Amino acid sequence: MKLAIRCGSINAGHTVVYRGRTWKLRSVPSAFVNPAVQLGIAAGSLVKPDVLLREVEETGCGDRLCVDGRAGVIEDEHAARERSSVHLSGVVGSTLQGVGEAMVDRVRRVLKLVRDVPVLRKYVCDLSELANEYVDRGFEILIEGTQGTFLSLYHGTYPYVTSRDTTASAFLSEVGIGPKRVGDVIVVFKSYVTRVGPGPLRGEISFEEAYKLGWIEYGTVTGRPRRVAPFDLELARKAVVLNSATAVAITKVDTLFPEVRGLKDPSKLPGRVKSWVDEVESALKVPVVLLGTGEEVEDAVYLGGEK
């Protein structure tokens, strides 16, 4: 048996492409494409009921979904309060989805929880209990963190950050699993660096240059163009340390090396790609176990067997 749990909130979108179909999601775990996997949303998450219910309908995962009753609820007033903030909209570049204001209400102990929303009650569970039971029985669990390490409220590029910690320790805390129960921490990098909105971005290149390289992206939630810079080994090293990473996965390798697009066989990796992976591993001191070679879920080269 398998369990996939998503942390975070609706300001972090993720696009899933599976067998020609595309989903743009903000609440449901990416692993929904595997019908054999139980799905969970952590107690530390924030849920917007209409967004969650729409995604449940789009993915057809309702019979496998468990939402911790202690997860928080974002209401329209939270987004309205953020839109009225010049600091959040103009300085920080917030997505204005109401996440920060909902977190403020959580700290004030006045936030509504999922267990208080009638339309969500059929999904309510004690996810920490379920997750620890899975561990006790030797079943597999994947905890899906959201947003980048350097958007962490504590360890990121403050004030240009999100309203929570975004390191592996925080994800475990949101779920309710102790750190000694974890087998592997896989840090996911992209083959180049992006960020939406203001804040530092070392090595940033122009929109025109990014366009020529094929590195242009738009935020899943906001639709805003992402700023771009080449892969940053120094940032990557710090992310490995902050997350106690045991392995690395790198997405969009086909954007950096177009000749690997759609590749799945590690034996067919070109020499220059292998050299780049070796350079990354040498700098980070942890193995690269997965290379994303396309948008499809199954477009990946798995190196774990070799390492």
How far is residue 22's CA from residue 62's CA, in Å, rounded to a whole number?
18
Domain match, 174 and 257 both: no
Q: What residue numbers bound the domain in which 129 lies?
A: 1-183
> Tell me, what's the pLDDT at 96?
83
Domain match, 10 and 127 both: yes
Rama region for 176: left / alpha / beta (φ>0; ψ in -120 to 50; rest): left
64 Cβ neighbours under 8 A, 6+ residues apart: 32, 35, 37, 38, 39
CA within 13 Å, CB half, 306: 11
Domain match, 201 and 149 both: no
Q: Which of 135, 151, 183 is the last residue of a domain?
A: 183
How far is residue 64's CA from residue 200's CA, in Å, rounded to a whole number?
40
Task: Tell me if residue 307 falls in helix, strand or coil.
Answer: coil
Q: What is the DSSP string of 18-77?
A: ETTEEEEESSS-GGGGSTTEEEEE-TT-EE-HHHHHHHHHHHT-GGGEEEETTSEE--HH
Domain match, 219 and 179 both: no
pLDDT of the chain, 307 residues: tens digit per residue: 999 999 999 988 889 999 999 999 999 999 999 999 999 999 999 999 999 999 999 999 999 999 999 999 999 999 999 888 878 877 777 888 899 999 999 999 999 999 999 999 999 999 999 999 999 999 999 999 999 999 999 999 999 999 999 999 999 999 999 999 999 999 999 999 999 888 999 999 999 999 899 898 887 777 778 899 999 999 999 999 999 999 999 999 999 999 999 999 999 999 999 999 999 999 999 999 999 999 999 999 999 765 5
> Tell me, what's the pLDDT at 148?
92
Cβ atoms of residues 195 and 201 within 8 Å: yes
Q: Which of 151, 183, 215 is the last residue of a domain?
A: 183
Widest Cα–Cα separation across the chain: 57
Q: What is the CATH number of the domain that holds 205?
A: 3.90.170.10
Report the domain count for the chain: 2
Pairing of strands 140-144, 65-68: unpaired
Q: What is the CATH number of the domain that holds 179?
A: 3.40.440.10
How far is residue 22's CA from residue 36's CA, in Å, rounded to a whole number?
20
Residue 22: Cβ within 10 Å count: 10
98 Cβ neighbours under 8 A, 6+ residues apart: 48, 74, 75, 76, 77, 78, 79, 80, 81, 82
Domain match, 55 and 162 both: yes
How far is residue 219's CA from residue 14's CA, in Å, rounded to a whole number?
9
Domain match, 2 and 132 both: yes
**Tokens 């992310």 — which residue?**
239
> Tell me, what's the pLDDT at 269?
97
Q: What is the DSSP string of 186-201?
A: EEEEESEEEESSSS--
Domain match, 107 and 134 both: yes
Domain match, 174 and 196 both: no
Domain match, 51 and 102 both: yes
Domain match, 150 and 25 both: yes
Distance of CA 148 to the CA centre of its chain: 7
> Tell me, what's the pLDDT at 307?
57
Candidates 267, 268, 271, 252; CA nearest to 305 is 267
Q: Could you give phi then psi for residue 287, rounded to 5 degrees?
A: -75, 145
> Tell me, what's the pLDDT at 306?
58
Angle at 160 (CA atoms; ends 4, 87), nearest 5 degrees: 120
Distance of CA 102 to the CA centre of its chain: 19
AA identity, residue 19: R
Structural tokens at position 22: 């595309």
Domain match, 51 and 92 both: yes
Candidates 162, 116, 126, 128; CA nearest to 10 is 162
How far is residue 236's CA from residue 129's CA, in Å, rounded to a whole number?
33
Cβ atoms of residues 193 and 231 within 8 Å: yes
> Tell me, what's the pLDDT at 235?
97
How far is residue 277's CA from residue 306's CA, in Å, rounded to a whole number?
13
